[in-house]
Amino acid sequence: MANPMADDMRRFKGSDEKNPFEAMSERFDRAAKLLGLEDDLYAVMRVPSREIKVYVPVRMDDGHIQVFEGFRVQHNFARGPAKGGIRYAPDVNIDEVKALSAWMTWKCAVVNVPFGGGKGGIVCDPRQMSIGELERLTRRYTAELIDFIGPDKDVPAPDMNTNEQTMAWIMDTYSMHARHTVTAVVTGKPVALGGSLGRREATGRGLLISIGEAVRRLNLTPDKTSIVVQGSGNVGGLGARLMYEAGYRVVGISEVGGGIYNPKGLKIPHVLEYLEKNRSFEGYPDVDYVDNKELLELECDVLAPCATENQITSENADRIRCRILAEGANGPTTPKADKILHEKGIFVVPDILANAGGVTVSYFEWVQDRMGYFWSEEEVNNRLAEKMVASFNELVHYAEKHNVDSRTAAYMLAIDRVAYDTRMRGIYA
């Protein structure tokens, strides 16, 4: 019998290092091989359950119709409904969405919440679109997917260039078709429409909790720990603020145009206020200016890439000078870079754990919507901390038990859980 794992390993050997689906697949293959995953289960889990491509006609403000290309990939349903964000960007493509949907499956399994992975995207430039055009785009995209999403099917959430307002439009459109209000169809909604307290800060808070566990593991203390954060948005900016408030010395932070650095530490609340007012760090006093490439190579205790994929590659991994790499973004490190970081002795808190705070609190939001009873922010944060700490400890234990690096351990743990549920359910035929 031919071994599909071996065939796929050959197919991806020497492939594009920066292709996100190939990066996910290479890591999946390694973990599956170490687990001794059966060929039949490998064949099922290696591919998405469903890929949906839609063409979305939208009447633009000037009266003409423009057709946008959209995607929704539902990777796995073994543990529950699909779960994952929707991003709006000019460079969205099916390989990216497939990779992100698979990462969501593994992320949900690592933190042990009862979802599978999903992800969506629309090829557009939201910066060039009016609010009215974005609303019409969102509502028509939702209508195209109406048979494929729902509280028990697939629960979207915000992602790149989407937000609470986008989720409110999706929830309203779905509810109009259902003929009653369905708050649990999306997460990341405004609190007044069934959103959860603590959801906006959840990814940054989960990153903070993961860093705290890694710092303790390396016998460091917050006041003696320097942190560099790439990105200043919902993950990087909020995460940096929470790190600053927790007593860490945040020495560097960046936005799209570049970053700033001060080895004595930055006053993050003031930095973020300046950025919001001026749209860049240009002119900020008493700092060194660095580009995003230089920022990643600054010497620090913790490096937290919180921007986009493929920031640490085989080209720059040997120049990374941190003790802990905590991945706030999805897929910031390529598989080739993994090997170099491992040889350098850098402890990696992989993305499918480090940024899982968002999906964890999304799960809490879905639960609260389903039962119609809402928790205080303190309760949400306490439940998040409990979940993240337990997941970190399970990952470390798994790494030690199987004598593998932390990223491989995270994939092995996730695949093991999904495989167990798939075995128990069986394949319907």
Tell me which residues are annotated as active site.
119
Written as six digits, the tokens of 250 are: 């945040």
How far is residue 296's CA from residue 268's CA, in Å, rounded to a whole number? Answer: 18
How far is residue 243's CA from residue 256's CA, in Å, rounded to a whole number? Answer: 21
How far is residue 83's CA from residue 356's CA, in Å, rounded to a whole number? Answer: 12
In 3D, which of 217, 219, 232 has the Cα closest to residue 280?
A: 232
Sheet holding 347-349, edge to edge: 288-290, 258-261, 249-255, 226-230, 302-305, 324-326, 347-349
How far is residue 200's CA from residue 157's CA, in Å, rounded to a whole number? Answer: 11
How far is residue 50's CA from residue 3's CA, in Å, rounded to a whole number? Answer: 23
Residues 120, 126: contact at Cβ < 8 Å? no
Cα distances from 290 to residues 252, 287, 295, in angstroms, run 9, 9, 6
At 248, phi and psi to the nearest 5? -75, 155
Residues 233, 300: contact at Cβ < 8 Å? no
Eight-state DSSP code of residue 303: E
| Torsion sign (Cα): 401, 402, 404, 408 | negative
Per DSSP, the three-state class of 104 is helix
At which residue do the structure tokens 């990462």 appear?
103
Cα distances from 123 to residues 39, 101, 115, 117, 216, in angstroms, run 35, 17, 26, 20, 42
How far is residue 188's CA from residue 86's CA, in Å, rounded to a whole number? Answer: 11
